[in-house]
Structure 1
Amino acid sequence: MTISAKNPVRFVVLMLAFAVLACIGTGTSETPEPEPVQEQEETEPAEPDPATQGESDSSAPSDQPVDTQPASPSTLTPEEIDQVTAASVQILATDAALNPQWTGSGTIINPTGEIITNCHVACGAPVLLILMTESADQAPEPRYRAEITHFDDPLDIAILQITADVDGNPISPTDLPFIEVGDSNSLRLGDPIRVFGYPGVGGSTITFTSGSVSGFESATVAGTEQRVVVKTDADIASGNSGGTAVNLEGQLVGIPTLVNPDIRDGVTIGGIGVLRPVNLVDSVRQTGAGQPSV
């Protein structure tokens, strides 16, 4: 077919038609076809449902402050339990010939070997052997000797320092397992308490019990009113004395000291445990330097 250029409009139209046909062709295009768009019918805006009106309003921004504090833990983590287990020690009081006299528990509070315990566990013993374990399945073994640096008999608190290996050779440890000291004044009624130690009824390995804060007692210490007792329903027995009572952050907050048994008709059916608040340790540092007579 001959195309005349005399009619330029017709010429342009025909050229465009040929171009379109050339692009469509008879084969398959390499460019994927677009997904067809469904036509939507026009609808009237929906009226709000009164039953759900409150729900939609609740998602709107609020002027109320948002609590960004992390939630308190509900239990100790396995890592925290392992750390507390390693820092909880058994204290073996012996005579000068290393004959066993009695046992108690204690807590290492820094990597250089400072230990918190009860005075009735440590005071009066010629030699204090420190037994430790790395596993809750294993009985503790004698590792070190310790000496008393501070004590307060009425408060029943003693601070020890590891000074020698088990054979009596002087050492200065720097990397012992320990746990942080918490704030016993922050404890409130009902707060969870976890107790670690070596009670005689628990056998030769470390024992874990749990309970809650049951109450408090206060008295004047070093001229100021302070908590001197934290009561707990966590099980405490002979051998737990001087041991480790922690909060759910794994921090030392109390020193298991004794249990007030509930005796009825000559039968002990329970009791309330007594913890010495760890904040009392600061008072002992200030006023109780020295060693008791043996």
Structure 2
Amino acid sequence: MKRSTGTLLALTAAAAFGGFAATALNELMDNRAQAMPAAPAPAAAVPAIASTALPAAVDGQPLPSLAPMLRRVMPAVVSIHTKQRVAVRNPFFDDPFFRRLFPQVPQERINESLGSGVIIDAARGYVLTNHHVVEGADDVSVTLADGRTLKAEFLGSDADTDVALIRIPAENLTGLPLGDSGQLQVGDYVVAIGNPFGLSQTVTSGIVSAVGRSGIRGLGYQNFIQTDASINPGNSGGALVNLRGELVGINTASLNPRGSMAGNIGLGLAIPSNLARDVVHQLVTTGEVRRGTLGVDTQALDARLVRTLGLADGQQGALVTRVHAGSGAAAAGVRPGDVVVEAGGQRISDPLSLHNFEGLQQVGSKVPLVVLRDGKRVDLQATLREQPRAVDGSAVDPRLSGARLAELPESQRQARLRGVLVEAVESGSRAARSGLRKGDLIIASSAGSFDDLASFRSTLAEPPQRLVLRIVRGNVQGDLVMQ
């Protein structure tokens, strides 16, 4: 039968962050169906052709199939639907006259999105997904493979690793066992399951292309599994499973430098199950994620520093410029001038890779370090200690009283931004009277150079007589003299 040629609809995506409204897809499919003319009737009868089927086995061996494993696994993968109420800003409606004249104009809109999730504990109803799938949502509902839709309870999330945990009140759930992602090797077969473009229960397969992938701008702490299994919008939060049906990763993003016009190019990223397991454990037991830190400031090596330190040409690592008092690094014997080249068995090529390693370790972790000191290898053992993510300005310097200072979001730090975020400022406080505002980014000060909150506090251990802060507010940079 001759078919009329239809238009090929390319559904690809540059990054699988957030959901994708299924209604848009339905409209596109409806429009396409209306545009398709009916197939003409055959002019004459066509002789019947004997049908054939694939054999169940070849040479006594059954044909391989993922179907038995997927029948067990797919009921554990769910669709997540979120709604967020967003205020509509219209300057005309600041005037009471216009509000009375047009009372029916909506003052808010509802943003809806779709994502995926994985049931990891059927008894408790725990569903693992991405932080960016549920971020800012006012309502979260979960649709199961059997068609049930349930309102979900938010238990906690960690933006820096993009992991979130929600709970659904339901019985007869299917949970997915967490595998050991540390055993994955390049070349292992994996299967991605999710709801791309609102198409529920979609399966794609591929191999592990890389493990421990990092250095990707705009994402948080990074230790990704890279796979060539297709990951598209709506797959976020879905399952990456091995051939035993164990959860080895949470699908989170796809890389596409050319954007959606390039189509799927086989660069998908998933959060390792071992990392997700640690985050979930902390969220369930403490309600928050606490991370350990060495307590050092570092800088990148360049050719001049390599020569000055007497290192081999091309040597990589993180040069220690400051060791914070009372830190795990100080207790381990790390000194300024040391070059960290290995931490926990992982190669350290620059300060960002060391920072990324630290951020993935729990408080109290014992970490073997390899440093170069005077050109010679020195092996050390450090115990990571907790670094507060935010502090009151009064604890740093009295002139910052009333301000709440915080670390930058990890996505910005991985984009190589440096500084300290002003999280809040109390009205009428000393910091407010000096001109500090919520959302300001402090990038320099008269007390000395710094990269993050810890080093900012270190520079103010001996307060300068005159404290000047260089801040970025919006796209404007300027200096504030703190009174």
Instruction: Tell me the TM-score normalized by structure 2.
Output: 0.37
Decide whether aligned partners of structure 1 residues 274 and 174 sit closer, same or farther in structure 2, where only a CA change above 3 A counts.
same
Quote how far apart the aligned CAs of 1:76 are.
Answer: 3.2
CA deviation profile, 1:12-64 (whole Å, cap 9, x unmatched): xxxxxxxxxxxxxxxxxxxxxxxxxxxxxxxxxxxxxxxxxxxxxxxxxxxxx
CA distance in 2, matches of 1:286, 1:178: 17
How far off is 1:104 after superposition?
A: 0.3
CA separation of 1:282 and 1:206: change in aligned 2, threshold 3 A: closer
Q: Give the letter aligned to residue 216 of structure 1.
A: V
Q: Does 1:147 align with 2:153?
A: yes
Corresponding residue for 1:196?
Answer: 193
Contact 2:191 2:206 in 1 (8 A): yes
One-letter amino acid of the counterpart of residue 76, structure 1: L
Contact 1:92/1:100 (<8 A) preserved: no
Q: 3-state SS of the aligned residue for 2:164?
A: strand
Q: Map 1:145-224; keep pairs closer than 5 Å.
A: 145-163=151-169, 173-200=170-197, 204-217=199-212
Question: C-alpha separation between the residues in 2 aligned to 1:127 and 1:256?
Answer: 22
Counterparts of 2:264 and 2:117, CA distance in 1 = 27
Contact 2:213 2:225 in 1 (8 A): no
Runs (5+) with no aligned partner, structure 1: 1-73, 135-140, 164-172, 220-225
CA displacement at 1:99 relative to structure 2: 5.5
Deviation of the 1:98 alpha carbon:
11
The percent of aligned pairs where both chains have the same amino acid is 34
Q: 1:116 to 1:191 in 2, by over 3 A?
A: same
Q: Find the aligned partners of 1:98 and 1:175 in 2 and give their Cα distance.
A: 36
Measured after TM superposition, the shift of residue 77 of structure 1 is: 4.5
Could you say which residue in structure 1 is the equivalent of 2:77? 88
Kindly name which structure, 1 or 2, has the bigger radius of gyration based on alpha carbons.
1
| TM-score (norm. length: structure 1) | 0.59
One of 109, 133, 137 as aligned partner of 2:120? 109
Partner of 1:280: 275
Of Structure 1 and Structure 2, the greater helix share is in: 2
Q: 2-side partners of 1:218 and 1:243: how far apart?
A: 19
The answer to whether the 8 Å contact 2:229/2:266 transfers is no
- Following the alignment from structure 1 to structure 2, what is the Cα–Cα distance between the partners of residues 191 and 84? 18
What pairs with 1:57-136 in structure 2 (closer than 5 Å)? 76-78=66-68, 80-95=69-84, 101-112=112-123, 113-134=125-146
| TM-aligned CA deviation for residue 285 of structure 1 | 3.0
Structure 1 contact 216–227 (Cα < 8 Å) conserved: no
Say which SS state the counterpart of residue 208 (structure 2) adopts: strand
Deviation at 1:206, TM superposition (A): 1.6
Query: Distance between the aligned counterparts of 2:119 and 2:206, measured in 1?
Result: 22
CA contact (8 A) 1:263 1:269 kept: no
Give the match's secondary structure for 1:249.
coil
Larger RCO, structure (CA 8 Å, separation 6 or more) = 1
Contact 2:161 2:222 in 1 (8 A): no
Q: Measure how far apart 1:227 and its partner are.
A: 7.3
Amino acid in the other structure paired with 2:112:
Q
Query: Residue in 1 aligned with 2:419?
Result: none
- C-alpha displacement of 1:123: 2.2
Deviation at 1:108, TM superposition (A): 0.5
Q: Check whether the contact 1:148–1:290 (CA below 8 A) recurs between aligned residues.
A: no
Taking the aligned partners of 2:192 and 2:116, their CA distance within structure 1 comes to 11
